[in-house]
Structure formats: C-alpha cells, structure tokens
Structure 1
Amino acid sequence: MNLILHIVLMLLSVALFTLFERKILGLIQLRKGPCKVGPLGLLQPFSDALKLFSKFSSAPIKGNLMLYYFTPLYFLILSLVFFLNKPFLSTSFFTLSILVLLFLYTTSVYTTLVTGWSSNSKYSLIGSMRSIAQSLSYEITLGLLFFSFAFIMSSTLMFKIMNFNSSMLQLFYCPLSMILFLNYLIESNRTPFDLSECESELVSGFNVEFGGAEFSLIFLGENLMLVFNSLVLSFFIGSISVYLIFWLVIIFIKVSIRGAYPRYRLDSMMELCWLIYLPLTIVLLSSLFLI
C-alpha cells in the first residue's frame, strides 16, 4: 500500500510540475498558459494524460517491436527506482549511497540508446547517438563531482551532505555545486541542451516514432528525473532544514532557463564539457588534495 501511495504521489508531482512549467513559460512569453480546464487550469495535466493514453499508437513495421514497447516502460520504471530507493535519506543501509546514485545515472543512457535504435528511424537513431555522446561526456564530470563531494565530507554517505557545516572547504563546495547544477541541466536534456530532442533538426529526436501511451511514459520518466535531479541538487546546495525551499527554487530556475535561452549547437555543448567543465573540475579537485 505504501508503495502504491509513493508512486501516486510521484506521478502527481510530475503533473503539478508540467502545470507549473507551462504557467511560468506563459508568463515569460506574455501569454496566459493553461486556464480553461478546471479552475485556473489545474485539471489541464490530467486532461492531457487522458488524451494521450486514449490515443491510438502504431509501431513501426520494421522496428524491433519487443524493445519498442518495453523501453517506454523502462523509462518510467528507472525514474521510479531513483525515488523509491531513497539513497539520499538512508543512514545505514546505503553506506555507499553516492556510488549507488552514480550507478543508476549510468544506466539511464541505455534507455535513449535502445529507444532510438528499436524505432528503426534515422532521426530517432541520430537523436539517441547525440544523447549517448552527451551522457558519456558529462557523466565523467558528474563522477568527478560526486568524488569531490565525497572527498570533502570524507564519506560516500549522501546523508552527510545535508548536515554539512560551513568551513574553509565551502570555498570549493560552492563552485562545485554550480558546476553540478549545469551538469544536471544537461543530463536532463533540458533547454538549451535538449539536442537529443531537437524538433527543428530531428523532428522530436529519439522519441519521434512514439505516440499515445508510449510517448506518455517517456514524458513522465523524463520529467520525473528532472524533479529528482532538482531534489538531489537541493541537498548539495542547502541544508536539511531548508532543502525543500531550494528544491522549488531550482525547479523554477530550470523552467526559467527554458524560456530565456536559445538552444546550443551540438559542437558548442561538447566543447563546454571537454574544454571548460572537465578542466575546471579537475583543477578544483586537485586544489582539494593540496589543502
């Protein structure tokens, strides 16, 4: 019963996030946003879900049908695993919680890989190849950042992050947190780094052949991962007493960035990783060893 309640609350958080995002984007673009379905448009996410799940979906004739129908479900299941394991709240069982979290992040690349390949479409395949290159590049910096935080706290237990007290190491802690924020923004395939779903070039990218219920599951999984990444980032930035406020602020910033910045080019995004983020992370990590 508790498991079902957790899943319902997580799916409800995605619905509220989509409504919040469309409202903020409407304010940024000087339009109303959802306002017709229900009071103040509160029922709009539920009507969208009902519409998508009731639509007819057809699979590509020459695609791998077994993987085609399994990968959207895997998108959602993997996102639920991040929340249900709660490696950031455990104090005894997950003694290597940072490593467990990093392992789960590395498995997420297979979802877009298999999704793009199973559709048997060149546009979806290009989108999945972009996502693989993006994930492999930025998971290197993500691993180094997690290792840096583990070195600062002398522990791989993520619970200690929420109780981290200010010290001279805060001089390194804050820049690492800012790099981690940008890294999470890119890992989540969010604008301006949504190059695996670039509509102007790839016609929706790796999920172009998915519609109806399959697209809904992919959409739920991606937005649920964004909510989870914002939650983890709030632990790195704020303490346990105010992490909820930081969580909401981070989500607001990510939505505002989508409405304020244009999309990056693929080569610029790769250069950002290999020429800026990775050297800067290595320099900060080397400075920690010299203290």
Structure 2
Amino acid sequence: MNQGPAGHVTRSFNRPLAETAPRAERRTFLRTVDGVTIDALYEPGKGTSASPSELSGDLSGDLSGGHFRATSGELAIVVAHGFTGDLDRPHVRRVAGLLAEHAAVVTFSFRGHGASGGLSTVGDREVLDLAAAVAWARELGHTRVATVGFSMGGSVVLRHAAMHRRGPAHGPAQEQVGRTGAYTDAVASVSAPARWYYRGTKPMRRLHWVVTRPLGRTISRYGLRTRIHHRDWDPVPLSPVESVPLIAPTPLLIVHGELDGYFPLDHPRMLAAAGEDHAELWLEAGMGHAEHAADDALLGRIGAWAASAAG
C-alpha cells in the first residue's frame, strides 16, 4: 500500500467526554491525509493545571468548547499501541497514566482498531495515523513532542520518525519530509521488530495466519475487535531497521525484553546497530513483550527519558 505524507488533522467528528473526566481532557476524531477517522484522546500531564481557557489552537466544533494552549515548552507524549490494542484498553490506559507523570499524553486507536475507521494494514499506513496525532499535539500548543510505540506501534514510530524529520538547516518548524507539525523530537520504540515477515517464533506464525487468512481476519474482527485489510503491501514499506539511520539526529531509544516471545534479541540489536552511536538500547531482564510486560518502573524511566531527550 502506498505511503503518503503526514496526516492532515480535522475535527469534523467529536465525542463528548464522560462527566467524570478532567476539564482539560479532549476526545475527538482526527482525519488522516488518506481520509481515515482516528479516535484520539488528549490528557494534560499530572503536574499541570491546564484548563480549556489556558490552551490554544482552533478547536471549532469541539463539543466541550473553548480553546487550548499548552504551557510553553511543555512536552506531549504520543502513544502508539500494539496490534489489537486501542486507546480504551486497560493496558493502554495504564501506559498513558504512568507517562502522564512526565508529560501531557495523546493516545489514539490505529485504523481498524477500536472506534477508529478504516482497516488495519499492520504497520504500513498506520504511519499516517501517528502523523495526525503528532500534528494534533502541536496544534494544541505543545512545542515538544515525543513518540512512544509498542510492538507494531514500535515499528510505526520508527518509520514515522524517518519520514518526518526536522531539518537543522531549516530551523525548528520545517520538516525535511512530510507536513510541518508532524515531526517528533524524541522516539522510544518498545518491543519492535527489526524486519518484516518474521515467522521465527510461534506467536508470530500465529499472527501471520490471522493476518493472511480469511478465517483469521474474521476471528480478529469479532474476537479481537481488530479489522484487518485483506490486501498485501504494495509496495512493501521501508522496514524498521532501514528506517533507523534516517532518524538521526532525533534522539532514539530502543527497549526490548530479554524474554520477548515474539521477537528475539537479534531484533533490538539490529535496530541499535543501525543507529550506530545515535540509538540508545535498553535490554530489560525478565521482561516479555510490549505494553503488558512493561512494568510501572520501566514506563516511568521511559517517560523520564522522553522528557529529557525531547529537549
């Protein structure tokens, strides 16, 4: 499936928040450049007291009203969940809550997941979904944005950072690739594959069956609440390991569990090697795969790294 430019954000669709939600939360649908509606949620950091009147950005049509303005220089972390996740899943909410100790947090559901539209392409066009979420964070006034992705989301944050780079010769507001506003200031990729079509473990063979077989896609739709596109990639997108060298000089963190049952340790080592001196590698003893395996302490360290690395 062809790659496209960064997501263009519109808010033609809006969802009211639960009555118990903090005033400064915003939940809405973003629209990607290829026309897919993406369910997204903004939450201010726990150390801030931002309210609708303190935030900026044109949110005309938002049901809760008001304008948003993030505190100058405040960091936003955009979370890219793993395959079959969505922003309402308990493990994604846990990640968001812990990262909110360090920054404002944007969570969203990839296409084909949860309340978002479209069909999952399992890491290809999902880069457009992430671009829309990052651009939204900047529209809300955040001048620093970091991306943190898990498993499939970990591969997406790598490809996104490679495609949307801020050129040092052009100043802080202009990207070398893609639409202004969709670039990231720091990238953390957790439990990501280094290469496509890996089938070396039983969980990955099972995942490939789900993605490639009609019965598997039916099971995914009704059992996992994930709608998968039936077409193969055409062309095959740039792989995560091919993306890493293009990310520099943006700070990059690679995190992987030593007990990951999906992708063995050659994957994170390949990613780190591709980054040479640019990428930082954390191999976590006793950790399995992705959000479920990342304990509170690790997520706290990732949040602190993002706050520091994003400048």
Tell me if TM exceeds 0.5.
Answer: no
TM-score (norm 1): 0.28
| Structure number with bigger Rg | 1
Structure that is richer in strand per residue: 2
